[in-house]
A and B are shown apart, each in its own frame.
Chain A
Amino acid sequence: MARKTIFPMTRIHEPIRVDVEVEGGRVTDAWVSSHLYRGWEQMMPGRDVRDSILFTQRICGICSSAHAVADCLALQQATGLAPTVNGQHLINLILAADIIQNHLRHFYLLALPDYAAGPDTPPWTPRPPKPDFRLPAKTSAELVGRLPAAVRIAASAHELMAMFGAKAPHQQTIMVTGVTQQTNADQIKAATAIVRQIKYFIEGVHIPDVLTVAAHYPDYYTIGKGNGNFLSFGMFPDPLTGRRAIRAGVQTGGGAVGDVDAALISEEIRYSWYREGSGGRPDTENTVPDRDKPDAYSWTKAPRYKGLAFESGPLPRAVLNGEYREKGGGVMDRLIARAHETLKLCRLAEGWLAQLVPGQPSLRPYTLPPQGEGAGLTDVMRGALGHWLKFKDGKIQHHQVVTPTTWKFSPRDASGRRGVVEEALIGTPVADLASLVEVGRVVRSFDPCFTCAVHAVNLPNAKPLII
């Protein structure tokens, strides 16, 4: 038996350490830990509640709009305000554009170097000692040759986001009742053109490329299979009906799809660097960091739904919506589901653009009620994201964030149950102990982003910011 550590795991966002135990050429146990703590939620109390959307999105530069949208939903619930019709379409568009950008970059910049040798220049060199490249040389060169185009298309998705969000990353226009950017016919036309262009690329290049990779790595349909529990909060509410274009659902072990009850979500901290007795439901939990806690190995908390760990993200979303039948629930299924979702988002975006009415207000002026409490649950790039907040006299009193990465990359919980990725790593074949490429592929297929997993807390003795 050999114990190996990978730190840092590359081609993912932020510091993550993966420890695996390998016996007989297979992973028998795994520990995933995150190594950055910024204390974001500690920074929230005392701030002007209107700043919340702009401030919380700075948790993460890859999915900034995701946090903005979740916070906007939480504020909507807390204040009873609703966005205008145009405003909701634009919020949906901003989030969709950001997700498209993320999915494209994930495949070409982060995942592809695992399957095809990149250009002969750093950072693509050096390569792992035994990289396990199976694509024919010509195909491999073709895929890698598409890198510049893919990077360009991903940037144009951010352009689309900036058209309505002012800039990307960290858009600046989303408010409780809509978006400050007003629409005009010109802009709608330009945005539609960009969406079309992205769509052509995804249909003609991206999806075929993903399928090419999948065809050469058929064993990866089953390698890295999750625990079979799928969760989605749904996303893109319709401005009139409130129905979400991608619907919410929860499925345990391949059973029937049920409704999500937010009250069943809680976070455990047995193996996280937080003081005992903390954790609990996100609308009340109150946690204190403790870097010297024995046994603990991660800054990530362990969110559980009905006490179980759940996988969320493009694959669960596709399965819960009945749009994809997984072949094995592993690495390739995740890559393919992500590519299909990118295409779906383009189609949805075209629909919203067609429904925008030029000249109609995308924002409604409002005054805040004196106090409120709300939860903003939405799905984003990587899965289910929730923001819980309370405010009084215009100042935030409580703010908690449960991110998709914490759902998937959680450490063990109080009953010793592993997180989704820890579970998915078990059974992964390992050809070479020095390179551990298989482990990297499994971890990367979940598209982790530890910036937001850095769980931050609401200290009881923290002084609120005096404004």
Chain B
Amino acid sequence: MLSRREFLKLCLAATATTGLAEILIPVLRQASAQSALPRPPVIWLELGSCTGESVSLDNTRNPNFYQLLTEFLDLRYHWLYNTVQGDGAVRVMLDTVEKEAGKFWLVVEGSVMTAADGRYNHIFMRNGEMVTGLAALREFAPKARYVIAVGDCAAFGGPGAAHPNPGGGKGVWDVITDRVVINVSGCPSHPDWMTGTFSHLLLYGLPELDAYNRPKLFYSRTIHDQCQRRQQFEDGIFAAFPGEGGCLYKVGCKGPVTHADCPSRQWNDYVNWPVKAGTPCIGCASPHFPDGMTPFYNHLPDIRTRSVSVSVRKIGAAFAALGVGAVATHLAAGIFARRIHDHYLDGTKPSDPAPPENLTQVKQELDDLIRQQNALMSEAKQLEAAKPHRRRPKSWLRRLVGFWRTEDKTGKDK
């Protein structure tokens, strides 16, 4: 089996080349064929949701949705897919909670409606009594092996908790405070982010999480860091209206403050993503979505809502000091210089994903791939280091870089 370290590398490499799952699938197949992987029982609760996460998960490519249900997960309860209805479905769910206590995964979609003691959202009936989503969550969460909040609503309240929040929507971790809740945010969450997190849980247990409990695998870098239009930002070429060429920062792109890997991963079988389609990133994977990100078409320093993140204020401060415009964007080129040159990595594709014959072979292939990626990355780093301005110790530019960064040297959020 892959070591955890190798898996992490693989995920990072995969975002730069193609879908993570394309490489992951033979590994998972192999492992499950050798019965190394028990299928975990899963209870999927929909609370104040739009079902967008389930629909997004339907779009998963490798493993596809059918494989996910028949080979990897044991989806005991999800009212969108259960064949049996009413009491029958409730019985399956309660049985699973009882008999698989400590083993089952609790996946939650949608914000927890807390107004009127949760009575704005009833989700099932037990012994003739209506049960609220809030009560069910409080009852099931302590017994679950993992609690996974998928989508921005479940993770942070999201659109379901937008101002003035009449239903009292909250994120799962606002309600379940005494244990780890894994947040797979996004509106909706990318199917890879969900399957990738599930895979990590299956293979190695809890993934490394950031300050917002999101798996670092997918949320460690900002959209802006990886964006294809990044060069235009650095060159000071800006779109004056959505749909035009150039960086979309001035028409409201929230890429600089949103952590996700959309630019390299892309959406729906990797065909497109908002900025590529000429529309600004609206920060849907952010803990401050949507209120902290509106108006969607106004650029960052103009935001005056109550929940603006610190980084936004920093951008405002930086731009006030430098003067907005071409000068500032030119300097910004230096500020963001720590990126890895994506185009060096784009050239590599993984080998044919036909299932290898044994695990050793899988491992060999992955080793090759990782070695290849590492070589490219180190080359990119060397080129990066060769730039003269990088050598200057503690210049005012460096200090600005330090001010800009939202994480310290060890990778933790400041």
User: Given A8-B124, A180-B279, are A126 and B92 also a contact pair (CB < 8 Å)?
Assistant: yes
**B295: chain A residues within 8 A (beta carbon):** 47-48, 50-51, 467
Question: Cβ of A128 and Cβ of B282 under 8 Å apart?
Answer: no
Q: Is B113 an interface residue (CB 8 A)?
A: yes
Indicate if the CB atoms of B119 and A291 lie closer than 8 Å.
yes
Digitize A1-26: 1 where CB-to-B-CB distance is under 8 Å, 0 elsewhere: 00001111111111101000000000
B290: which A residues are within 8 A, CB to CB? 55, 58
A308 contacts partner chain B, Cβ-Cβ < 8 Å: no
Given A5-B86, A151-B66, A172-B274: A37 touches B121 (CB 8 Å cut-off):
yes
State in angstroms the CA–CA spacing of A182 and B188 once bound together.
24
Which candidate, A60-68, A231-239, A401-409, A417-425, is the interface stretch facing chain B? A60-68
By the criterion CB–CB under 8 Å, are B296 and A50 in contact? yes
A-B contact count (CB 8 A): 285
Chain B residues lying within 8 Å of A9, measured Cβ to Cβ, are 79, 85-86
Q: How far is the CB of A467 from chain B (nearest CB, A)?
A: 6
Distance (whole angstroms) from the CB of B320 to the closest CB of chain A: 20
Q: Nearest chain A CB to B101's CB is how many angstroms away?
A: 17
On whether the beta carbons of B297 and A122 are closer than 8 Å, the reply is: no
In chain A, what residue has the closest Cβ to B152? A58
Q: How far is the CA of A146 from the CA of B341 in the complex (A)?
A: 43
A436 and B85 contacting across the interface, CB-CB below 8 Å: yes
Q: Looking across the interface, which residue of chain B has its beta carbon closest to that of A125?
A: B83
Select one of A47, A154, A449 contacting B58, CB under 8 A.
A154
Asked whether, in the complex, the Cβ of B271 is within 8 Å of the Cβ of A127, the reply is no
Which stretch from A73-81, A156-164, A276-284, A385-393 is at the chain B interface? A156-164
| With A50-B296, A147-B66, A291-B116 as contacts: A122 and B74 at CB distance below 8 Å | yes
Tell whether A289 pairs with B166 under 8 Å between CB atoms, given A38-B160, A172-B274. Answer: yes
Tell me the nearest residue of chain A to B275, going by C-beta. Answer: A166
Main secondary structure of the interface of B (DSSP, over half): loop
A11 to B268, Cβ gap below 8 A? Answer: no
Instruction: Select the residue from B87, B273, B284 with max chain A CB neighbours within 10 A.
Output: B87
Report A115-158 residues with CB < 8 Å from chain B CB: 118-119, 121-129, 147-148, 151-152, 154-156, 158
B84 touches A128 (CB 8 A): yes
Q: From residue A171, how far is it (CB to closest CB) to chain B in Å? A: 9
Interface residues of B in 44-66 (CB under 8 A from A): 46, 48-56, 58-61, 64-66
Q: List 26 A-B contacts (CB under 8 A).
A: A9-B86, A14-B49, A15-B46, A15-B123, A17-B122, A37-B166, A39-B165, A43-B162, A47-B294, A58-B50, A60-B51, A122-B75, A122-B82, A154-B58, A155-B65, A159-B268, A166-B277, A167-B267, A168-B59, A172-B279, A173-B277, A181-B243, A181-B278, A451-B49, A451-B50, A467-B294
Please report B residues at the A interface, Cβ cutoff 8 Å: 46, 48-56, 58-61, 64-67, 69-70, 74-90, 92, 111, 113, 116, 119-125, 130, 159-160, 162-167, 169, 187-188, 240-243, 267-269, 271-274, 276-279, 282, 284, 290-291, 294-298, 304-305
